[in-house]
Amino acid sequence: MADGVINLTIDGAPVSVPAGTLVIEAAKQAGVLVPHYCYHPGLPVAGVCRMCLVEIEKAPKLQIACATTVTEGMVVKTQSAPAKDARQSVLEFLLINHPLDCPICDQAGECELQDFVFQEGQPGTRYGEYAKRFNPVEDFGPDVLYVPNRCILCTRCVRFMEDVAKEPVLNVSERGDRAFIGIHPEARLDHPWAGNVVDLCPVGSLLSKDFLHKARAWELDKTASICTGCSQGCNISLDTRDEVVVRVRPRPNLDVNRYFICDHGRMHYKWMNRGDRIEAPLVRRDGELKATDWDEAFDRIVGILRGASGKAVALVSPGASSESLALAKRLLSGFAWTGAFQIVMGEEAPLPGVPNLALRAERAPNARGAENLGYTRDYAQALEAAKTAAVVLVLDDPDSTVETNGALIYLGTVLPPDAACRRADVVLPIANVAEEEGTFTNRDGRDQRYYQAKSAPGMAQPAAWVLGEIAAALGVTEAAR
Amino acid sequence: MGFPHKPHPKETVVLSQYFGDAEARTLKGWTKRGGYEALAQVLKMDPVAVTDVVKESGLRGRGGAGFPTGLKWSFMPKEKKKPHYLCVNADESEPGTFKDREIMRWTPHALLEGTAIAAHAIRAEIAYIYIRGEFTEPWTFMERALEEANAAGVFGTIKIYLHRGAGAYICGEETALMNSIEGKRGNPRIKPPFPAAAGLFGMPTTINNVETLAAVPHIIKRGAAWYKGLCLSNPKSTGTKLFSVCGHVQRPGNYEVTMGFPLKDLIYDMCGGPRAGRTLKACIPGGSSVPILTRDETESCLLDYEGVVEKGSLLGSGGVIVFDDSTDMVYQIMRLARFYAHESCAQCTQCREGTAWTTKILERILAGQGKPTDLDLLLDLSENMTGKTICVLSDSCAAPVVSGIKKFRGEFDAYLAGKREAVLVG
């Protein structure tokens, strides 16, 4: 036996796990999902739902897999008759008060009660004709509704607020079958990370107002992405339906955000769906920007770049992919180059229960990546340099107040009416983060990939593709740097 | 039993010797009766030696589980790295049990002395006595006694605090009690860790019942051999035990008998038996949480831990509830189930939903609306509620239901068949 490694058998499969591992986690390694409600790897163990009761050889009675640590030679049976009976009885008990309103419940399709009822084959109860427990829906906070009738009292939300957010505004009120989740009478569930209770809730009891009745879970396509809300780099899933991002949910990454995202990040998606996008390349003709095709746009840019020399300035978004930032720099490698970005700042909001996890003051996902490539934070100086530069390239920075006597090339998703970039010689439509694949480097220097969740509007293309095409047309190669 | 009756000749009066003797409540009166001699003796002893005496005496926990007290004390860490705590469970809420109340009402110093001895034995600096919220009178006496004893400095460096509960039955469960002292909701904790490893405030803790601790000074003073000798049946059950008898007897009250005493004599001799013209029907021997005994079982039962188990029940807290032939067992069992449904802490699914459901089924049977399948359903639910939860509240609800259906099925069947007039409960 290797040091600190425990060997055990779960449903006949041998597994070796580090000492101190919980049976429920060891089972995952053996490919066995022990049904559970109150257990969550990101929360302290409560052991209250009693759903994960398993048979352990030599133990006098069934044990809960979520609170039992592995021991050498342990033999765990999750499919034995007593274990299955216990699970079915828990489901029967849960179903006596849980309404079967799945057709109008947002959780349907991703509900752990539905899943395990289906898996264990316990569709109903012998409760009979009694009315189920009824309590009215409560408004808990800016984005959270509590539907007590569906609550199975797993207490994940209570433990999250108490032990992870460290703002214990939720509790279990009352006792026995009258119990419900209560909120402090003078408090709101408005902690900057409170929205996680909606994800944590295994049933449809805690709902996001933002997502309320917006889509059915099974209609959603889920794409791995990285949150653009700040420089933390939380791993997220972009949930889309018919090319529209409808929801952002955390994607577990134990090194970055564990199982959580903040509410700022959760709500930071609506702009991805905006309809006022640049849909075709635009070139200045007779003093006005006119829509054209990519070939003409590229020709115009190649002409500009070939005919210019001296200073070039790149004003970029710290939310652009590292790939596009690198190409934007390479494209201007023949010039005296200055690159800079500006960051929107906000309030820092840590999640106290998780070390090194916060909504960061720097609301940009790739500032570190831009810095690594040589872009600076001295945006004012770059703006000054831009005035006398031969070429200025603005990458996805519609709010830039750029002024220049040289040529202005703008790659962006939108072109607001009063944008300085309306004066550009060429405007190229690019994809936003949900429409392309790319890499961000978070504040701790971690490179993280994000993927395409929906298609880009019109002729828009990923910035990296656009810049790559220009570079190819120019003949700028690696050797030219 | 003392006040209001003189002790019955068959009683072995140790703990209840001064029940009814108001002077024993005062420090002066208690000292005059030999009080605090044992403590003075103990404070000069090595804690391990004290534990050994208690181990040798065979004293077992009087709160219900009957765990050997000396052994429990010896589970405390040998090497003291953290503060140790002693908790005294005076949250006597088990229906049918009222022995600790009398100890605190009449001999508060006996409990304080036992507490200090135990604290010394487990090397605890601080002891909390958690007193049931409804016990206003015992609280007054305990408070007064503690003040007096503190003023006289009898506890040495040991600090004793009284902590008042707020009326939840579940706070008598040891880990819920600790949560309650800590200012949290009184929910039982999952074990392990056991209190001796991580109890009150996460520190090594021992928790003992009032009656257990009240017996300790006597053991110290008179010796383990004397206590061990107090045994009428199984040598594993020693000493005296207070039984709180209530229900259909002529003289309800607390009676102190030697372990192994026949239950029949307790009910018929000491308590005067059932009321005139009535006969014994059933008996719950150890507080509401234990299985019900029939008349035959009751009359042949010996009152010690093993003797009651032999009859299919448990000695529990010693709360003897007697039912005569006028009793509607279905109604009584419904009342018990309703109590547990009311007191369930709502943590475990089986208990939260099961106790309430059980109550509803029993209510509909009483109302004449039971279904033929209801008894099987009740038994199945009880099976699902037993041995699967954090604490035993759920098991306690199931125990009287299962034993009630098994032993008094005819009464259930009468309701189900419509042969008995429906009882409206609400």
SS3 readout for chain A: CCCCEEEEEECCEEEEEECCCEHHHHHHHCCCCCCCCCCCCCCCCCCCCCCCEEEECCCCCCEECCCCECCCCCEEECCCHHHHHHHHHHHHHHHHHCCCCHHHCCCCCCCHHHHHHHHHCCCCCCCCCCCCCCCCCEEEECCEEECHHHCCCCCHHHHHHHHHCCCCCEEEECCHHHCEEEECCCCCCCCCCCCHHHHHCCCCCEEECCCCCCCCHHHCEEEEEECCCCCCCCEEEEEEECCEEEEEEECCECCCCECCCCHHHHCCCHHHHCCCCCCCCEEEECCEEEECCHHHHHHHHHHHHHHCCCEEEEEECCCCCHHHHHHHHHHCCCCEEEEEECCCECCCEECCCCCCCEECCECCCCHHHHHHCCCECCHHHHHHHHHCCCEEEEECCCCCCCCCCCEEEEEECCCCCCCHHHHCCEEEEECCHHHCCEEEECCCCCEEEECCCCCCCCCCECHHHHHHHHHHHHCCCHHHC
Chain A residue at shortest CA distance from B340: A176
B357 vs A contacts (CB less than 8 Å): 93, 96, 127, 177
Please give chain A's pLDDT, 481 residues, in tens. Answer: 457 999 999 999 999 999 999 999 999 999 999 999 999 999 999 999 999 999 999 999 999 999 999 999 999 999 999 999 999 999 999 999 999 999 999 999 999 999 999 999 988 899 988 899 999 999 999 999 999 999 999 999 999 999 999 999 999 999 999 999 999 999 999 999 999 999 999 999 999 999 999 999 999 999 999 999 999 999 999 999 999 999 999 999 999 999 999 999 999 999 999 999 999 999 999 999 999 999 999 999 999 999 999 999 999 999 999 999 999 999 999 999 999 999 999 999 999 999 999 999 999 999 999 999 999 999 999 999 999 999 999 999 999 999 999 999 999 999 999 999 999 999 999 999 999 999 999 999 999 999 999 999 999 999 999 999 999 999 865 444 4
A153 vs B contacts (CB less than 8 Å): 346-347, 349, 352
Question: Considering the domain boundaries, does residue B347 fall inside one?
Answer: yes
Helix, strand, or coil (residue B253): strand
Partner-chain contact A176 B377, CB within 8 Å:
no
B373 vs A contacts (CB less than 8 Å): 126
Give φ, ψ of B258 to 5 degrees. Answer: -75, 145
B275 with B163, same domain? Answer: no
User: Which of B190, B349, B377 is opposite residue A126, by nearest beta carbon?
Assistant: B377
B186 with B275, same domain? Answer: no
Give the residue range(s) of CATH 3.30.70.20 domains in chain A: 101-111+129-273
A221 touches chain B (CB under 8 A): no
The pLDDT of residue A480 is: 46
Site of tokens 């009258």: A178
B130 with B191, same domain? Answer: yes
User: Which of A47, A126, A153 is opposite residue B190, by nearest beta carbon?
Assistant: A47
Question: Considering the domain boundaries, does residue B405 fall inside one?
Answer: yes
The total number of structural domains in chain B stands at 3
Partner-chain contact A93 B352, CB within 8 Å:
yes
B388 vs A contacts (CB less than 8 Å): 50, 53, 61-62, 86, 89
Top residue of A93, A117, A120, A203 to mutate, by most chain B CBs within 10 Å, is A93
Out of 3.40.50.300, 3.30.70.20, 3.40.630.30, 3.30.70.940, the CATH code matching A101-111+129-273 is: 3.30.70.20
A96 vs B contacts (CB less than 8 Å): 353, 357
Residues B72-131: pLDDT tens digits? 999 999 999 999 999 999 999 999 999 999 999 999 999 999 999 999 999 999 999 999
A306, burial (CB in 10 Å: exposed 0-12, middle 13-18, buried 19+): exposed
B193 cis-preceded (ω within 30 degrees of 0): yes
* Separation in Å, CA of A26 to nearest CA in chain B: 19
Residue A170's beta-bridge partner residues? A183
Q: What is the ipTM of this complex?
A: 0.93
* Separation in Å, CA of A159 to nearest CA in chain B: 13
pLDDT at B6 over 90: no
The pLDDT of residue A481 is: 41
A61 vs B contacts (CB less than 8 Å): 387-388
User: Which of B344, B347, B388 is opposite residue A53, by nearest beta carbon?
Assistant: B388
B222 with B245, same domain? Answer: no
Top residue of B171, B347, B369 to mutate, by most chain A CBs within 10 Å, is B347
Partner-chain contact A93 B349, CB within 8 Å:
yes
B115 with B260, same domain? Answer: no
B130 with B177, same domain? Answer: yes
CA dihedral (B94, B95, B100, B104) positive or negative: positive
Question: Considering the domain boundaries, does residue B11 fall inside one?
Answer: no
Partner-chain contact B355 A172, CB within 8 Å:
no
Partner-chain contact A177 B343, CB within 8 Å:
no
Top residue of A23, A53, A85, A89 to mutate, by most chain B CBs within 10 Å, is A89
Helices then strands, counting H and E runs in chain B, come out as: 18, 11
Could you give the count of Cα atoms lying within 13 Å of A239 in the half-sphere of its Cβ? 17
Q: Which residues, numbered 354 to 383 in chain B, qualify as contacts with chain A under a Cβ-Cβ cut-off of 8 Å?
A: 354-357, 360, 373, 377
Domain A5-79 has CATH 3.10.20.740: yes
pLDDT at B2 over 60: no
Chain A residue at shortest CA distance from B185: A172
* Separation in Å, CA of B372 to nearest CA in chain A: 13
The pLDDT of residue A124 is: 87
Residues 6+ away with beta carbon under 8 Å from B346 = A153, A172, A174, A175, A176, A177, A178, A179, B352
Specify the pTM.
0.94
Top residue of B345, B349, B363, B385 to mutate, by most chain A CBs within 10 Å, is B349
By DSSP bridging, strand A180-183 and strand A13-18 are unpaired
Domain that holds residue B182: 22-229
Out of 3.40.50.740, 3.40.50.2000, 3.40.50.1580, 2.40.160.10, the CATH code matching A282-480 is: 3.40.50.740
Q: What is the CATH number of the domain that holds B297?
A: 3.10.20.600
Give the residue range(s) of CATH 3.10.20.740 domains in chain A: 5-79
B52 with B154, same domain? Answer: yes
> A411 and A463 in contact (C-beta within 8 Å)?
yes
